[in-house]
Structure 1
Amino acid sequence: MANRPSWTDIRSWVAKSSRILIKKLARNDCGWADNAKNGHQNGVYVPREIREDGFFPEVRNTNPDKPHILDTLFETFWPSTGETKLSSLKHYTNKGTEMQFTRVPRDEFAGLTPASWLLGGTLDHPVGGAHHWFMVIDSESEEAELLESMFSLDSDFHFALFDPDALPGEPLDETEQLIEELTRALREGTLDQFIRRTSAMPATEDFALQAQESWLVENHKEAIDPWLIPNPGDVIMRISRDIEYTLFKRAEVRFRAAQVLRTISAGTDLASAVVRGFPELDATFLSAAQTRKSRAGRSFEHHVARVFMDGNVRYEEQVILGSRRPDFVLPDVMTLRSQTRPFDDAMIVSLKTTLRERWKQLSLERINGAVFLATVDDRVTADAISDMADNGIHLLVPESLKASKETCYAKLANVITFREFFDEEIADKRPQLRNSLI
């Protein structure tokens, strides 16, 4: 595994670029770096849309005996290692629309967590003869989270080209309105009143309800009914990771901007206010980071509960089982405690927005029921999924993540989609969990 880039390096290279490429790496884009048997690829597939959009050099036929092969060589710079490579582009026109980007540093692609990122850019002023630079960002890193925020990458993002001078962000009218409000509050001496109005972030329940209602309006629905929606897992992921997070960021900007402005306007001059107010500023930004992380878990829980409720699925929430407090017991804890194998009547559904090693908490204590672990995390490794299977845990994921080439989910038997969960685990195996059938 190569040295991973810092956020400072990433921002620096983005700033000096005229165009930016971001691609979520599929398993075959990087699996070759860990397995010599996959050495026939040794690079990344470039989608047709990127190939045709002029980011990469044009490919041409250089071998008249093989007119179906278009290729070219070009220099690439890799800031993490400081090396320049003579990379290759090949398009086998008889095999499909994708192009292969090869002759890249193997170490850059080794040991990556699923759903990691390829980041690249074009330079007006070449480095070592290279007009293109590339970095690989592991999805488990803090830099990956910052990249997703900087470019507003949604849960269904796979690849795109960006103009660094026109990055996604808050709508200009909302930004300008907030600046005007804060400027007026400073000028009129009413900053304290403004801060009191924004002194607390809305409750997670309020954000969740707003996000759900937004999705309902957007999709002309009256309920988030898993029996009427073909892809309930994707809907949950869309509401929690995209819609609600957008609402949260808008509220957070108002809340945190007022806090920072109060701190830096307290001194006699800006320099002294920043220096003397640094502990308070540091606490503000630390609190912001912690709030984001804690919000995500509760958000996911609210949306799954809404789907159960709208689908008339019987459940109890946050019940105590020994030293554990699973998110949901279906239908209730009394049924769970009284059932005997083969666990036909009740089940546990726990939630983790991001898994890492925390799934092991479920295996520490035997539970008298089938165990399902729901997540919207696309970074879970095949080894971790295998360990879950050994511990009798089924992983429950959105439909698009199960089918994605960027995850390890597709061919693993203990990974099921929300669609399969409702159809097979509830409707087929446990129809008594539906209120409408009682």
Structure 2
Amino acid sequence: MAFELETIHSSLNWGLIEKFVLKSGQLFLKKLSRNDTSWATPSGSNQSGFYVPKEIRQSGFFPSLEPRNGEPHIHEAKCPAFWPQTSELRAESLIRLFTKKPSECHYTRIPKKLFKDLNPASWLLCGTLLDAMDEAHHWFMVIDSQSAEAELLEARLDVSADFHFGLFNPTALSSTTKARTEVAIELEAEIDAALRSGSIDGLLRKYSKLPSPQHLSSQARAIYLTSMGYEDLDPWMIERPGDAVMRISRDIEFALYREHELRLRAVEVAAILGSHHSTASAAVHGFRSLDALFLSASQQRKSRGGKSFESHLTCLLDVGEVNFEPQAILGQRRPDFVMPDARAVGANDRTDFYAAAILSAKTTLRERWKQITHERFNCSIFLATVDDRISAETLDELREAEIILVVPESMKEDKTESLYRRDANVISFRAFFDDELAIKRPTLVREGGLLLARKPRPKKRVRRPQER
């Protein structure tokens, strides 16, 4: 069965996705929650399908529901669909709503094997077919969150950190569609003029340097603070500091970075292709240069994400007047933040377990979190992340290693993602500052910070994803 699942998911590639996107009138994307996939496990419920959000159900994307004969409290509609990954046409598929529980609307009678053993926060992509395939007017694909296709999907659709579901125009995912933004139009004209005049080297020099991570982080924070009406990134006054850091790092700063990256990489590609006398020559002889260029771009993008997250955490601790030493050397390790300093953590004869703490930061966990477990310290170890793709196995390993996971408030509170919500070893940034620092470890916070911690903070209305 494991081999079968691996074969099914490995059969998915971007070419297959784009083939069906081009056949579609509209796209529906949903981040799969635990409730959407748990039914496919041996101990799963009888739900047998994924939830259809009310907004999507009422949008006209799916057929209208009608009361079932003799059972008016059940509304349903047949919705045959094609599943390219398994080459199945499911004519018996349907949407079912229990009106006594209006939130329970399921799309059911679907390929169970596609929903089994998925990583958390995987994707369901669906399209309405312009030309029906027999009875089917819809198609569905399941995209594992750890796949290259998921990364490309998120980049193409510019998916925000708090995205749960939405409808899209197929042109947003098609590689044949040009992004006609103001920046893109201006850049096209610049590159075209430079190629005609032979001054592409000058344009390369103009865009050869990306802004420093510190500059981008500072700019992103300023945009966020202005939009929210905050004076600074104060963890004691901001109601949801974890959500704030996630939005600044994963949405605002990444958007700024991509704008600068577009200029640099587009000019570099133009310089490589423009040095050849024909398209064929550029494709053959420029391949190695292009391959190296895109590898470098991918590595730089991932490196930037980690630095961005650390930068905003540093700001939270600084403004919150928390005593810490960054990148302190502890044996063979260099944690991101040691509180209050390395000397305090290294005092092995200390009897007060709450006199120090270690905070590490990882935007995504994968296996790299194990780097911080090789040595034992006489204090708590916290691991901050904005990763919503952590498996149950990894959470068990973190608990066994006595590492407390710190996640944004929206992730901890998400009722559909019980992996975090029900795990006592997973806490929110709000709980980290209020409980773990201000209450349990007040010596780690300077007097001014403690005074702010004990003041009631102004409440801000939290906008839901569909309102954004």
1:197-236 mapped onto 2 (5 Å cutoff): 197-236=206-245
Structure 2 unmatched runs, 5+: 451-468
Partners of 1:126 and 1:406 in 2: how far apart? 35
1:165-314 mapped onto 2 (5 Å cutoff): 165=171, 172-314=181-323
Q: Which one-letter code corresponds to 2:380 in the other structure?
A: A
Q: Which one-letter code corresponds to 1:31 in the other structure?
A: S
Listed one character per residue, the Cα deviations across residues 355-401 of structure 1 (whole Å, up to 9, x for unaligned) are: 11222222221123210011000011122112211111100000001
Deviation at 1:419, TM superposition (A): 0.1
User: Does residue 1:12 correspond to 2:23, yes or no?
Assistant: no
Deviation at 1:280, TM superposition (A): 0.9
Partner of 1:67: 72
Partners of 1:406 and 1:170 in 2: how far apart? 34
User: Does residue 1:35 correspond to 2:42, yes or no?
Assistant: yes
* 1:22 and 1:159 in contact (8 A); partners too: yes
What is the total number of aligned residue pairs between the two structures?
A: 436
Partner of 1:108: 114
User: Does residue 1:45 correspond to 2:55, yes or no?
Assistant: no
Deviation at 1:171, TM superposition (A): 6.3
User: Does residue 1:329 correspond to 2:338, yes or no?
Assistant: yes
Q: 1:203 to 1:407 in 2, by over 3 A?
A: farther
Listed one character per residue, the Cα deviations across residues 98-153 of structure 1 (whole Å, up to 9, x for unaligned) are: 41110011001000111111111010112242111001111111111111111111
* 2:153 and 2:173 in contact (8 A); partners too: no
Deviation at 1:270, TM superposition (A): 3.0
Listed one character per residue, the Cα deviations across residues 68-116 of structure 1 (whole Å, up to 9, x for unaligned) are: 1111222111000001112011111111244111001100100011111
Q: CA RMSD in A?
A: 1.7
* 1:207 and 1:247 in contact (8 A); partners too: yes
TM-score of the two chains, using structure 1 as the length reference: 0.96
Structure 1 unmatched runs, 5+: none
Deviation at 1:186, TM superposition (A): 1.9
Of 441, 445, 454, the match for 1:430? 441
Partners of 2:194 and 2:440 in 1: how far apart? 61
1:354-433 mapped onto 2 (5 Å cutoff): 354-404=364-414, 405-406=416-417, 408-433=419-444
Partners of 2:413 and 2:326 in 1: how far apart? 30
Deviation at 1:409, TM superposition (A): 0.3
Stretch of structure 1 that moved more, 135-144 or 416-425: 135-144
Partner of 2:454: none
* 1:115 and 1:378 in contact (8 A); partners too: yes
Stretch of structure 1 that moved more, 76-85 or 54-63: 54-63
Stretch of structure 1 that moved more, 383-392 or 317-326: 383-392
> Between the two proteins, what is the percent identity of the paired residues?
46
Deviation at 1:273, TM superposition (A): 2.8
User: Does residue 1:123 correspond to 2:132, yes or no?
Assistant: no
Deviation at 1:342, TM superposition (A): 4.8
Partners of 1:37 and 1:272 in 2: how far apart? 55
Listed one character per residue, the Cα deviations across residues 288-309 of structure 1 (whole Å, up to 9, x for unaligned) are: 1111111111111001001111
Secondary structure of the 2:411 match is helix
Q: Which one-letter code corresponds to 1:423 in the other structure?
A: D
Partners of 2:237 and 2:317 in 1: how far apart? 13
Return structure 1 stretches of 4+ with deviation > 3 angstroms: 166-171
Partner of 2:64: 58
* 1:397 and 1:416 in contact (8 A); partners too: yes
Secondary structure of the 2:419 match is coil
Deviation at 1:341, TM superposition (A): 4.2
